[in-house]
Amino acid sequence: GYKAWIAAGKDSEDYPTWTRNIIIRNLKIDAPWDVNPEDSANAYADGMTLSRAQNIYIDHVSMGDGDTPDSLASDTRHDGLLDIVRGSDYVTVTNSYFFKHHKTTLIGNGDSGRAWSDEGRLHVTLSNNFYDRLESRLPLNRYGQVHMFNNYIYGLTDSSVSADLKFGSGVDPRYHSNMLLQNMYFEITELAASSFCKKAIDGGNTGVVLGFRSSGHLLLSNKKVNNVANTTPVAWDGQCGYSAPTGANVWTPPYSYTLQTAAAAKASVVSNSGAGKLK
């Protein structure tokens, strides 16, 4: 396999199963329902898996559970919506709609045991996407050099919400990740200010992250203060205790891009994301 190829000193770029230079646009994809999951917590197939894939552009795609929500079973029948793993590189996901699912996007599927395939790869851009009523992994990132900007994340934490729609965690930096987040809009119902850095961005992995920069966001929660529901978003940097990259870990996006304000991004994303909205 691929690991043996690398161990033998052969050029990773010459491994015969690489997929390169693919555009995926204007599709609606329902996550597959595993009729015979391996155990109560793990299903088999993703909606889309990028494995040993390079130069991939995904645009105006809609992905969710479709007619098979998690509530139909007591155990796990879906895996990821869009996973980017096994040395994949230079992946861009824009103007897409991810909705009503548990494990949304995994970037890098292992810690130190995946260094041989993932270190120095997993360059991913996620912009102008709508993450709607999802549970987790927006994304969960190991090793990835990930640029996120102008995305809109809408999550539900109300006690009345069914378990398969309840927001658990958003952006989740993990082992050797290096992330740049800019001008995102987080709208998480019933989320107390003290939980922003536990839910919207998971701030619990500061010891293993190579770098994290975050700024320009708005966060709106209707959590009542003095029995009055909040309707005004607050400015939030989302740094959550992480440190900016230093030395060799410092990077800038190798492309030009135009940032919208977080408020403008929300309006644009709601109107333009997903299949059927190409212009």
Just list the catalytic residues. Answer: 137
119 and 176 Cβ atoms separated by less than 8 Å:
yes
3-state secondary structure of 56: strand
Concatenated DSSP letters for 146-205? Answer: EEEES-EEEEB--TTS-GGGB---SBEE-TT-EEEEES-EEEETT--GGGHHHHTB--S-
Identify each DSSP E strand in the chain by its residue range.
19-25, 28-30, 48-51, 53-59, 62-64, 82-85, 89-94, 97-99, 106-107, 123-127, 130-132, 140-141, 145-149, 152-155, 172-173, 178-182, 185-188, 211-215, 217-220, 234-236
Looking at residue 19, the DSSP 8-state letter turns out to be: E
Tokens 């959550």 -> residue: 240
- For residues 145 and 122, the answer to whether their CB atoms sit within 8 Å is yes
Distance CA 84, CA 101 (A): 17
Are 137 and 106 in contact by the 8 Å Cβ rule? The answer is yes
